[in-house]
Structure 1
Amino acid sequence: REAVRRWMLSDVPVGCSLSGGLDSSTIVGLLGEMNYSHLKTYSLGFSGQGEAEWDELSLARQVAARWGTEHQEIILEPEELLNDLLQMVWHLDEPYGGGLPSWYVFRLMSKDVKVGLTGSGGDELFGNYGKFLDFERSPLLQATLQYPLMRKAGQSLPPWAWSAWRNAVGKLPDQMLGGRRPRLLELDQFFRVPFGHLYYANQIYFSDRTKREMVFNGAARELDGTALYLQRLCDEAATSDARDKIAYVDFQTQLPEEFLLMTDRFSMAHSLEARVPFLDNKMVELMFRIPSSVRTRPDNLKYLLKKAVADLLPEDIMRARKQGFVIPIKLWLRGPLRPLAERLLSPARLQEQGIFRPTFYGRYVKPHLEEQADYTWQVWAALMFQLWHVVFIEQKAQAAPSYQWKDLAA
């Protein structure tokens, strides 16, 4: 409550992003409890066929109704996203495909207020991410993080032993492995960098080995291993608590380098100051003095937060599964965004560009577009890189583009 109160101090109007998730709903609930008058909230949703899976407007509306906020909504259509993509890329200033709904919520907010509160940081403090589930569900990961001798035992095996292992795994039939072949082939990496390897493999789209062997061409294949970098961060964390090690890595990487960067640049693009009460310094210090086993539980990852705000929020919010503030990219890539993907990720373009292997199209893009496999985020990451390349390398843009992707020469 004190953190939210501190971050509400302002000489200009303040509003709240309300995605319908637990974190942003918590902020609105706390402000409602403190009787802030004329509280303004802003949400985004989708109306197309099959898009209900990504739409949390019904939850956001419950929170807005519970506290009587002045609530506004925007319904995003894929055509509008297409029109704005190049401007988003320019303001981000680097290849990144996350957080796009925030662009539209911030734009809507900026018409009424100059400061906007968001729920960023709640996941990192209270542990509701896939990586925490991986930890809770993987005795092997727990053991390698908590018992260094197990990790050293795997590291002590000679190279020839791992080579023999990979040869054996390579000869086993697919039906026996049940899709686990890539993981088994990289078992040596697991013991060398257990945290980096598992964290990395489950939270990103391409493993280091996949990037070298199947994604990138030429010098791009020589990129430093991300798994090793993450392992070093994990090892330097000044805690023996495995969950806090995960949180430490989050606070060093994904939170500042992705979420906060996106929040800052998208909000500033609309002359809006975004604030993040969950990351109030006193709040963070307090949370990390509380044992992780109290903050989060295997069967209730945001246990402490839910317990603290249970009387402020509708029951549907407390029971809802973790959604994330995302758009229906899986569907839109197969529909309105398909021409863009086919053009910017075509084998001919990739061959000429020389960064991605031309086979990337047949390996990832074509199977996804034709609904033979789900490579949503692999294709989307590559597509956003291509848009960044168009804006900054090919067009050498010095200002936000006034043109749209369809205006570019084929």
Structure 2
Amino acid sequence: CKPWEWCKPHFDEAAKQNLDIITQTQYVDMVSYMPFDICLKADKMSMSQSLELRVPFLDKKVLDVALQLPTACRVDDDHAKYALRVAASKLGFQKKVANMPKQPFITPLTVWLQTDLYYDRIKEAFTSEAAHEFFNVDYLVQMLDDHKSADFSTVEGRGKLKMMRIWNIYCFLCWYEVFFGASSEQLKPKTQVA
């Protein structure tokens, strides 16, 4: 199923409600993207660490108020979360904080992979027995070296950005080590299940 095919029934349902396009889009986000992507990931990540996660803007009372706001109070030409930004300003937050652009929660892997700590750890994995079994090790090390030495403030440096490729290969090698490498013996269950 293609993404637009999966979303179409939600947009069709929103269109039946005679809502403006912004509210339709927000509705589709609330019934598709949020529960089946963002909230699902947050729930899985927090529960895997035995953490109870609360998302303040998904509190029922907050949501009830937000759903009653006219579209012009939710979004303006410059900002999403317009009412929240106005409220923050009136509560005394500095203007630069209240009007700060939305930012994702990203891990600074691009920078971390340039530090000796992460570089050395990943290079060890990239030259391991498993890496030799599955990959061209010379290519992996060259890619890692290029990333470590790149100046990302230049176009040429950004061309050497291979963080996602490096990280995906490293995660595979860690997974392989846990389940099939020397660590698998140490980590296997101590009891037999009949």
TM-score, structure 1 length as denominator?
0.33
Contact in 2 for aligned 1:263/1:274 (Cα 8 Å): yes
Structure 2 vs 1, CA of residues 303 and 348 (structure 1 numbering), >3 Å: closer, same or farther?
Answer: farther
1:304 aligns with 2:91: no
Q: Does 1:314 align with 2:101?
A: no
Deviations 1:74-104 (A, max 9, x none): xxxxxxxxxxxxxxxxxxxxxxxxxxxxxxx
Secondary structure class of the residue paired with 2:53: strand
Alignment of 1:258 onto 2:41: yes
Partner of 2:112: 332
| Cα gap change, 1:334 to 1:312, in 2 (>3 Å) | same
Which letter maps to 1:337?
Y
Letter in 2 for 1:388: W
Match of 2:122 in 1: 341
Counterpart of 2:100, as a letter, is: A
Task: Sort the Cα spacing of 1:364 and 1:287 in 2 relative to 1 into closer, same or farther, 3 A.
Answer: farther
Kept in 1, the 8 Å contact 2:89–2:98? The answer is yes
Gaps of 5+ in 2: 16-23, 151-156, 190-194
TM-superposed CA distance for 1:352, in Å, is: 1.6
Greater strand proportion: 1
Paired residue type of 1:284: L
Aligned pairs (5 A) from 1:61-140? none
Map Cα deviations across residues 227-267 of structure 1 (whole Å, 9 max, x no partner). x2x3343223232423443454421333133223222333x
**Pairwise CA distance, 1:325:** 4.1
Match of 2:54 in 1: 275
TM-score by length of 2: 0.61
Corresponding residue of 2:8: 235
**Partners of 2:123 and 2:141 within 8 A in 1:** no
Match of residue 166 from structure 2 = 379
Q: Is the 8 A contact 2:46 2:52 kept in 1?
A: no
The alignment's C-alpha RMSD in Å is 3.7
What is the match of residue 66 of structure 2? 287
In structure 1, stretches of 5+ residues that fail to align are 1-224, 400-410
Q: 1:326 to 1:260 in 2, by over 3 A?
A: same
What CA distance in whole angstroms lies between the structure 2 residues aligned with 1:357 and 1:283?
53
Separation in 2, partners of 1:393, 1:285: 50
Say how many residue pairs are matched.
Answer: 166
Q: Which has the higher contact order (CA 8 A, sep 6+)?
A: 1
Report % sequence identity: 20
